[in-house]
Every structure is written in structure tokens, then in C-alpha cells.
Amino acid sequence: MSNFEYAPAPESRAVVSIDPAYGLFINGKFLPGKSHFPTINPATGEKLSKITQSTTADVNKAVAAARGAYVKTWSKMPPAERAKYLYRIARILQERAREFAVLETLDNGKPIRESRDVDVPLVAAHFFYHAGWADKLQYAGFGEAPKAHGVVGAIIPWNFPLLMLAWKVAPALATGNTVVLKPAETTSLTALLFAQVCQQAELPAGVVNIVTGDGKVGAALVNHPGVDKIAFTGSTDVGKIIARSVAHSGKSVTLELGGKGANIVFEDAAIDEAVEGIVNGIFFNQGHVCCAGSRLLLQEGIHDEVLEKLKRRMSQLRLGDPMDKNTDIGAINSAEQLAKITSLAQVGVSEGGESWSPDCALPVNGFWFKPTIFTGVTQAHRIAREEIFGPVLSVLTFRTPQEAMEKANNTPFGLSAGIWSEKGSRVLWASKHLQAGVIWANTFNKFDPTSPFGGYKESGWGREGGRHGLGAYLKGGDHE
Amino acid sequence: MSNRIDVRKTYKLFINGQFPRSESGRVYEIKSGKDFVANPSQASRKDMRDAVTAARAAQPGWANATAYNRGQILYRIAEMLEGRTSQFVEEISLLEKVTSIQAKAQVKQSIDQWVWYAGWADKIATAFGSTNPVAGPYYNFTIPEPMGVVGILAPEKPSLLGLVNCLAPVLVSGNTAVLVASQSAPLTAITFAEVLATSDLPAGVCNILTGIKDEIAPWMASHMDINAMDISGAAKKTQPALREAGADNLKRIFSFSDKAKTQRMTSFLEAKTIWHTIGI
């Protein structure tokens, strides 16, 4: 019997209207920009709109607006009232969820199934969760009257554009800070739509400001003397640049950076579940995930079985139109990122790794990379050491649990790890020995606003989410 | 009756539970007014690196000791310190230009700090961890863990209390330490190492260097196997450069006010969050 074929099930894009050009959101108003760059749909190459390249003067204006709002309005407002604005934002995000999901998928290239079922619901949850903290900060363990920093400069990446906005803006506002946000160059649209949400919620002018553009805008924000705290998510290289920049200014900083997560499968694991977890760990969001399980560590006895099942499962993945509700793997976010993935995959081959991808057609336009696994990989290979940030999995093996721990921890990163085993004591033993900020046992890539997220070692400074994440936005709280 | 000649102490470094001289063969002279007091070792970059190697090797064992055990060892340090009070009073009075009453007060405070932190060992996870009610069938909890190897630049004065204020909160959670002692008043640090050596503290958990702070500190800040630093004891003007050098491996670098207490512990913790599926 032949396989049933899926008919295309495209989500309608009629729900969202995209302006031909966008300005900046400063002091509650959209201001027209002077110079623009295009933003495209990475799945088709189609130009979606034009985004403003902010100038230093724009950044100054945004910081001044944030300072003004902090001094005059936001810091004086009773916390319970502040909370209500966050609740309003959470509700509007829920109401307009489909619009945000469609826009995110168009601008980012991620499957609509993920933007609809993961990103946007988590965004609303983040605002709802932090709304509740606003008038309960004295119970958070950071002193009886914890104080906000003032103006937060938030710089976010392109892999989860709206979700990363929520991770920064929700706790910043809940703790009484005001924000200047710089979205990633290639994915500004949902942030600009969020500005409309702020308007609908009647959030006081200047509490949230959005400046768009490239890395120069981010640098201007980091180095601006009027910014009290930097919250950054992005690459470890840029994180180090920021760490050096703030060494002299004394600004408070949180950094959520790269990773090379080990996904460890022990011989006693439930193999079918583990295979699902491996796929979710590395192919979720095209592998554009800082906490991706990009190093698969298989205990030797199950190596062949897992690989066979993994390949079979990968052959079922549907790659293509991100707007199709059946799509599992969408587009690579940019030509630049595709070039980086392609280059590292070539290094993998030239260093002796064996590459395998399912036989699937790639769309003609846009940026695409087949889900790929590398076998015959050792710890010395670059594809086992460097963050690829794409749908590429390196497979390594181990004999003893101790060896698994050594290999898993043999990296300057320390963001995430996965453990697959049916034995509780082994799971907890491994959890204890893995040097990573987030450990998923018999699951992977799960997120929640109540759950602190962040890394050990070169994966960053501080946590986001939960009680621990709250501290990052309070004076003295970043010591925890 | 003949005048007995004192048997003086040779002040050496404390690395991996042993008391070596600096591999560089260097010493520097400590005086009290015009009088010679001692020639403590002037530690080199290599000594610092050896100390980091020892601290790294000792770290997993120390972190995996039970919290009860770590608490008892810290308490044991307090006991050993108490018994040596007079020796510390003498050394502090000699080099810090304080009266013996003030010196004694410093020693007593130092002892009480160890007792206070000893009691924290098995309460850190309760006070600073959490269970997190995630929206899904998962059991999710966050536990504080030590960061690893911590470099400490102890303040110049008070030489003993300043050292203890930095060291105890770092060790209590399972970090290991490489500490650079007060440059001007290093004797208490080395005598304190003798306390550590008789307190059941495993070798390498705390390593103490004496020497020129500005010489050693930049090498510590750029050392790729040190996870975090307490630079409270560095001159304010040198701190930005240390922070900048520390960015190479994203060291967590802190400078504390004298009032800080729990912050000195919590700053050197990483939060580890574990998700586990719930099901049958």
C-alpha cells in the first residue's frame, strides 16, 4: 500500500496587514524613519516591508523617552496598577494570537504550527505570569522593597522574535523598569506589531520603545550612558563584546548566549520516545535554537537501533512552506545563516564525518537546508564543538555513564542537556553531573514562564523566567 | 640563663593542601615600622595556575560532599580558628596598626562568620531553589549549584576578617577557591592556611597565594579555567580592566560592599533547572 499524501493546508495570511514601510516606536508614537532596509520572507524571498535603520539620534530619543516615562509615570505607579497593564497586554496578545503567529512565520520562516502552538501562546503566558509578580516583588526573595534599575536596553535575536521580546519586556515592566528594545535586523515585524498592542493597552507613552536596525543600533544602546541595564540574547561572540563594553560602565547585564547541548540516550531509554525527543531537540525551529540538542550521545549498544529509527523518522519530516499547517521544517532565516550552516556542514564532511539527510525536495526560492545528521563524529570535530544554529545533528557514542558526562561537559558552553532513561536514579545522577542550566529528562525543548532558563559557563549570565529571572531586573537581584 | 633565640616561621604558599615556596623563588619583605617581620613568598603566574589546577581537581569532590559534611567542615574551621586566637591577634597587631583589643575583635568576628556560613550549607537549596509550576505534565525544579573555581582578591584590611568574608561564602556551596591574600598584611592568610590544613578541608579546595596583587590579578582574570571572581579586594581603579579581561570566558565577576552577606553566597551559584515528564 502506498503512503497517503498530505494535501496542502495553508494558513491564510489575510489575517495580518503589513505596512509598506515601518518607522520607530518612541514615546508611544510611530515616528517615520529616514533610511530603510528591506525585510523579506525567508521562505520565498518575497519582500514584505521596509524597516528603519535607526540612527544614534533615534537611540538617544528612545532612551530619553524611556527615562522620562520611568521618572514621571512608571516608577510612581502603584504596582497593582502596573500589573493591570501587563494583564491587558497578555489578553490582547491572546486575542490577536493568530495575527502574530502568521506574521512571525512570514517574517521568520518558522512553521506556522510552531509559531501558533509554541511561540505566541508562550508570549501571552509570559506577560500573564509576570503581571502577577508586579505587586508581589517583596515576596520574591530580593529584599523587602526591591528597586528597579530604571531603563533597560533589550537586544534580541531572530530565532524567536516575539518570544524573546516577551522574555525581556514582561519581567522588565513587571519590576518597574522601562524598556528600549532592539529587535533583530531580519525579524522586526512582530515587535512593531507588539507596539500596536502597547497602544491598544494604553500603556503609558515611553514605557516601551522600539528601535530597529543592525548591530550598530544594538551597540549604541549597550554603550548609551542613559541605559541602566542590558538584557541580551544572541551569540556568545557578541555576548563577550557586550561584557567587555560594560566592564567600564558598571551596567547590570544579563546574557543569554549560545550552546552545544548534549542529548544523551542511555541503553534503557524508551527508544521511540527518545527518537521523537532527538528530532524535537535539533529540528525544532530548524535548529535555530540556542538550547538545541545538537550533540547526540548514544550509548553504544543502542547506536544502530536509534540511528535506524531516527533516519526513518527524519524521512517523515515535511520540509517546505512554513505557512502550511502540516509543515515540520520551515525556512532558514537568512542567506547569511544558510551560508554559515552550509559552511560548517562542509567542514563536517571534510573533517571525516559522514553526512546523511532524507531524500526531500527543497523549494526553489528562499533559504533551505535539509535536516542532516553526521555520524563518525569525534569530540575534536568542529561540528561537535561549534554552534551551528541549524538543522544539523552530530552523533557521538559512549560506553559508560561517566564517559557520557565527560563528553557532555567537554564544551565551553553550558546551556542545556537532555537525558533519556527509564531509571529515575540514573536520570537524577546525570542531572547532578551535567553542567548545564536547563536539563530535560525524557523530554526536550520545553519552555515555561515559571521555569528559569539560562546557562553555565560561556552560555551566559543570569536566568530568564521564574523567580530567578525576576532578579535580573531588580537592583542587587542579579547576584542570584 | 641564656637568651633564647626565637624559632621564626617561614611563610610559604598554600597549594593543594601543601605549603610550597613560590616556584619563582621570589619573596618580598614585610616590615612593621622599621623592623623586619617576614619574607613571604611572592607568588608567580605559574603558582596561580598550579593553584587553579588543584582547585579544579578538588571541585567535583567538594561539591558532591553532602551539605551536612561541608557545614561540619566549615564549623571545624571556626573551632580551629578559636584555638589559635592569640597567634592571629599577634600577627594582626603587628601589621595592621590596631590595638590587641581591636585585633581580638577581628578574630572573634572571623570565627563567628565561619559559624554563620557553616549553618548555610544545608539551607542554600531550600532558600534559593524552587519548584516551578509549569503548564504541562512535567515536574520542574531549580536547584542552586556552585559555579566551580572562584578567584578571590582579598581586601588589604582587615586581613583576616576580609579574607574570611570572601572565602566562607564561596566555599560553603561547593565552589573551590584560589585566594590572593592581603599584600600588605599576608601573615594571617598563611597562618589561616594552617587552620584549613587541620580542619578536614580536602586538599585543593582552598589555595592561598601571597604576593603582588596587581601582578597576579590580571592573570587570574584572563585564566580560562576560573569560573568567577570576587574582586572586592582589588583597587577600584583596577577593577574595570579585570572585568574586561574576564570577558574572555565570560567570568562572573563581582565586587561587594562590606554589608553584603547572602549576596556573597548567591553570586557564586548557578541555577540548574530540571524538567522531568510525569506519566505512568
Q: How large is the ipTM? A: 0.96
Let me know how long chain A is.
480
Number of helices followed by number of strands (H, E) in chain B? 10, 10
The C-alpha cell that represents B42 in the structure block:
611572592
> Residues B27-45: what's their mean pLDDT?
96
Q: Is B9 inside any structural domain? A: no
CA-CA-CA-CA torsion for B34, B40, B45, B51, nearest 10 degrees?
Answer: -150
* Inter-residue contact B180 to B220 (CB < 8 Å): yes
Query: With contacts defined as CB-CB under 8 Å, which chain B residues touch A443?
Result: 138, 275-277
Backbone angles phi, psi at B127, to 5 degrees: -80, -30
**Rounded to whole angstroms, what are the CA distances from A23 to A16, A155, A195, A242?**
18, 18, 11, 26
Q: Is B25 inside any structural domain? A: no
Give pLDDT, residue A401: 98
pLDDT band, very low/low/confident/very high, at A479 (cuts 50, 70, 90): low
> Residues A22-36: what's their mean pLDDT?
97
Number of domains in chain B: 1
Selected catalytic residue, list A99, A290, A458, A464: A290
Which helix or strand (DSSP H or E) is residue B67 part of? helix B67-83
Query: At B152, which amino acid appears?
Result: I
Measure the CA–CA gap between A381 and A346, rounded to whole angstroms: 12
CATH number where B253 lies:
3.40.605.10
Q: Is B3 inside any structural domain? A: no
Whether A460 and B254 lie within 8 Å, measured CB to CB: no
pLDDT tens readout for residues B133-178 = 999 999 999 999 999 999 999 999 999 999 999 999 999 999 999 9
Indicate if the pLDDT at residue A378 is higher than 90.
Answer: yes
pLDDT band, very low/low/confident/very high, at A314 (cuts 50, 70, 90): very high
> Residues A280-307: what's their mean pLDDT?
98
Query: With contacts defined as CB-CB under 8 Å, which chain B residues touch A432?
Result: 64
Q: Of B240, B263, B271, which is closest to A452 when you measure between CB atoms?
A: B271
Indicate if the pLDDT at residue B259 is higher than 90.
Answer: no
* Inter-residue contact A165 to A195 (CB < 8 Å): no
Measure the CA–CA gap between A138 and A115, rounded to whole angstroms: 35
Give pLDDT, residue A250: 83
Measure the CA–CA gap between A390 and A403, rounded to whole angstroms: 27
| Residue B274, min C-alpha distance to chain A (Å) | 5
Whether B136 and A446 lie within 8 Å, measured CB to CB: yes
**Is A256 noted as a catalytic residue in this protein?**
yes
- Mean model confidence pLDDT for chain A: 97
| DSSP characters over B88-130 | HHHHHHHHH---HHHHHHHHHHHHHHHHHHHHHTTTHHHHH-E
Return the closest-CA partner of residue A194 out of A172, A214, A170: A170
Query: With contacts defined as CB-CB under 8 Å, which chain B residues touch A480?
Result: 128, 263, 266-267, 269
Give one word for A161, left, alpha or beta, with left for phi > 0 and alpha for psi -120 to 50: alpha
pLDDT tens readout for residues A186-234 = 999 999 999 999 999 999 999 999 999 999 999 999 999 999 999 999 9
A243: Cα within 13 Å, side-chain hemisphere: 29
3-class DSSP state of B57? helix
The C-alpha cell that represents B249 in the structure block:
570566558
Q: Where are the domains of chain A?
A: 24-257+457-479, 262-441
pLDDT tens readout for residues B216-247 = 999 999 999 999 999 999 999 999 999 999 99
Q: Of A436, A446, A458, which is closest to B138 when you measure between CB atoms?
A: A446
HEC-encoded secondary structure of A244-284: HHHCCCCCEEEEECCCCCEEEECCCCCHHHHHHHHHHHHHH
Residues of A with CB under 8 A from a CB of B: 125, 141, 236, 239-240, 243-244, 246-248, 255, 257, 412, 427, 431-432, 436-443, 446, 448, 450-454, 456-458, 460-461, 463, 466-468, 476, 479-480
Burial state string for B85-108 with b = 16 or more CB within 10 A and e = fewer than 16: eebbbebbbbbbebeeeebbbbbb
Which B residues in the span 44-103 are in contact with A, Cβ-Cβ below 8 Å?
64
Indicate if the pLDDT at residue A1 is higher than 60.
Answer: no
Indicate if the pLDDT at residue A407 is higher than 90.
Answer: yes
Q: CATH number for A262-441: choose from 3.40.309.10, 3.40.50.720, 3.40.50.970, 3.10.300.10.
A: 3.40.309.10
Q: Which residue has the higher pLDDT, B261 or B122?
A: B122
User: Does B132 reach chain A within 8 Å, measured CB to CB?
Assistant: yes
Give pLDDT, residue A478: 65
User: Does B130 reach chain A within 8 Å, measured CB to CB?
Assistant: yes
Whether A454 and B266 lie within 8 Å, measured CB to CB: no
**Is A354 noted as a catalytic residue in this protein?**
no
Indicate if the pLDDT at residue B112 is higher than 70.
Answer: yes
Give pLDDT, residue A472: 94
Query: With contacts defined as CB-CB under 8 Å, which chain A residues touch B226?
Result: none
Q: Of B243, B271, B276, which is closest to A437 when you measure between CB atoms?
A: B271
Selected for mutation to probe chain A from B222, B237, B270, B280 (highest A CB count within 10 Å) is B270
User: Does B131 reach chain A within 8 Å, measured CB to CB?
Assistant: no
User: Does B33 reach chain A within 8 Å, measured CB to CB?
Assistant: no
Give pLDDT, residue B98: 95
Whether B272 and A441 lie within 8 Å, measured CB to CB: no
Q: Is B172 inside any structural domain? A: yes
Q: Is B136 inside any structural domain? A: yes
Distance of CA A259 to the CA centre of its chain: 12
Measure the CA–CA gap between A155 and A172, rounded to whole angstroms: 13
Quote the CATH superfamily of domain A24-257+457-479: Aldehyde Dehydrogenase; Chain A, domain 1 (3.40.605.10)
